[in-house]
Structures are given as C-alpha cells and as structure tokens.
Structure 1
Amino acid sequence: MFEKLEIMQIAQSMARHAALRQSAVTQNIANADTPGYKAKDVTSFADTYQTEAHTPLRTSRAGHIGATGGFEARVTTQTDSSATSPNGNSVSLEDEMVKGADIKRQHDLALTIYKTSLGLLRTSIGRG
C-alpha cells in the first residue's frame, strides 16, 4: 500500500538512476585503456524527471493509460571530442572519480528521502 506513494516511487527511481549511472562509470573506468572507447554517462535525474513529468496524462493507478511505473533514464555516449586521447579513448579517470562521488551523494539523498518518508508514515499511524 505505502509503496505506491509518489514520494516513495521518486526515491526508488532516484536510487535506480544512481545505480545505472554507477554502472556506466564503472564501465568507463574498466575501459580507460581501451583504444577507441567512448565514455558513457546517464542523463541527469532532473532532466529525466522533467521530461516524464510533462506528459499530458497523469496517472494514479497502474491500470491507467500512460502508466509506466517510474522514470526511465538511458546510458548515452558522450560526444565531447576535446578530451579524446591519441588512441581515441575519451575516458578521463579524474572525471569518473568526480562522477563517482556525485553518484554516492545522489544515492544517499534517495535513501534519506525514503527513510524520512517512512518515518513520517510511521509517526502518522502512531508507531514512530
């Protein structure tokens, strides 16, 4: 029942987005020496949320038209050619480490939102 609350779904989507982005970063680090490899990243959660939030239909149940069950982010190849090494690899380990720290912050934020919302729910029903 409580997992259908929008705040819980957003927190879950944020955590999934952080996991997808972490996967892209680890793949970039693993291929840092691969000739011709292009770095990958995920569109930001805010951009994904705004794109999904501007749909013409709002749904409140899974059976409604247009109900997708969350926000969808995709892994994209970065096209910044200024950071390409002579062998064609575009991975910068320094950038990937900064992204890793940002991903940890994003995941921690998602967990904090989830825990706080759960605490509010428990308090509202008298079990907090």
Structure 2
Amino acid sequence: MSNTGLNLMGALKTRMHWHQSRQKLLAENVSNADTPRFKPHDLKAPSPAGGGLVLAQTSPLHLGPAGSVNGFDPRDPKRFETTPSGNSVNLEDEMLKVAQNQSDYQLAASLYSKGLGLMKIAIGKGR
C-alpha cells in the first residue's frame, strides 16, 4: 500500500498552517498602514517535500521561470512608494494578498476535506 495519499494530506495540512500564519501577518500589515516607519512583511511559501523541479536554462536565449522576464517578477513588486513618515504599506496590494490567501486556504481546506472523505470510504465508514 502506498502512502502517497498520506503525503498529500500532510502537504495540504502544512499549506493550511502556512496560509493561517500568512493571514495573520497580512492583517498586521493592514492594521499598521498608518504606523510611522512600518515595513510590511510576508512569508515565503513552503517548499514541496521533494524540493520541486528545477528548470535548466541551457541557452541564454531561453526564457526564465514562468512569470519572470529578465529578472522581473510581476508577482513580487518591489516597494518603491514610501510615505513621508517612512511607512511603505500599500493597502491595495495587501488586500489583494489577503483575498488571494483566503481563496488559496479555502481550496486547500476543501481538498483536505475531500481527501478525508475518500479515506473514510476506503476503510468502509463513509456515507
């Protein structure tokens, strides 16, 4: 019997914990939008258990990883705007991150719930 399903469930659980921690941090960024010299924070996404796939760029003419063009990653904009008080929180960006994080958490929770349901059916206790 393979434990691939259990690894998937563990990965989903880790992802949900990460989304919970990130939501707390993003909420702190929003609540400190008017605090002088406050710098917003974010969490790095957890890496896959196997380390993920690494793209090999065999020619300098090849494109880089998806979403990046010549070192520019549109998903990670640099913070150029800073208020005179030294605060660099952009409420629009933070609220977009909050909404995306919530949606991603709901997806992971739904997949986790469906996985548990399938396991219950497999052992004969479902329905």
TM-score of the superposition, structure 1-length normalised? 0.69
Q: Which residue of 2 aligns with 1:74?
A: none
Q: Which residue of 1 aligns with 2:37?
A: 36
Structure with higher strand content: 1
Residue 37 to residue 22, structure 1, CA distance change in 2 (3 Å):
same
Identical positions, percent: 34
The gaps in structure 2 that reach 5 residues or longer are 53-75
**Residue type matched to 1:90 in 2?**
S
Q: Which residue of 2 aligns with 1:53?
A: 50
Instruction: Give the aligned length.
Output: 100
Alpha-carbon distance between aligned partners in 1 of 2:7 and 2:18, rounded to the nearest angstrom:
16
- What is the CA distance between 1:49 and its match in structure 2? 1.6
Say which one has the larger Rg: 2
**Residue type matched to 1:87 in 2?**
S
1:25 and 2:26 matched: yes
- What is the CA distance between 1:53 and its match in structure 2? 2.6
Deviations 1:26-46 (A, max 9, x none): 111111111111111111x3x
**Residue type matched to 2:34 in 1?**
D
Alpha-carbon distance between aligned partners in 1 of 2:90 and 2:47, rounded to the nearest angstrom:
28
CA contact (8 A) 1:14 1:106 kept: no
TM-score of the superposition, structure 2-length normalised? 0.69
The gaps in structure 1 that reach 5 residues or longer are 56-77
| Root-mean-square deviation over aligned CA pairs | 2.4
Q: Which residue of 1 aligns with 2:97?
A: 99
- What is the CA distance between 1:81 and its match in structure 2? 3.8
Alpha-carbon distance between aligned partners in 1 of 2:24 and 2:78, rounded to the nearest angstrom:
20
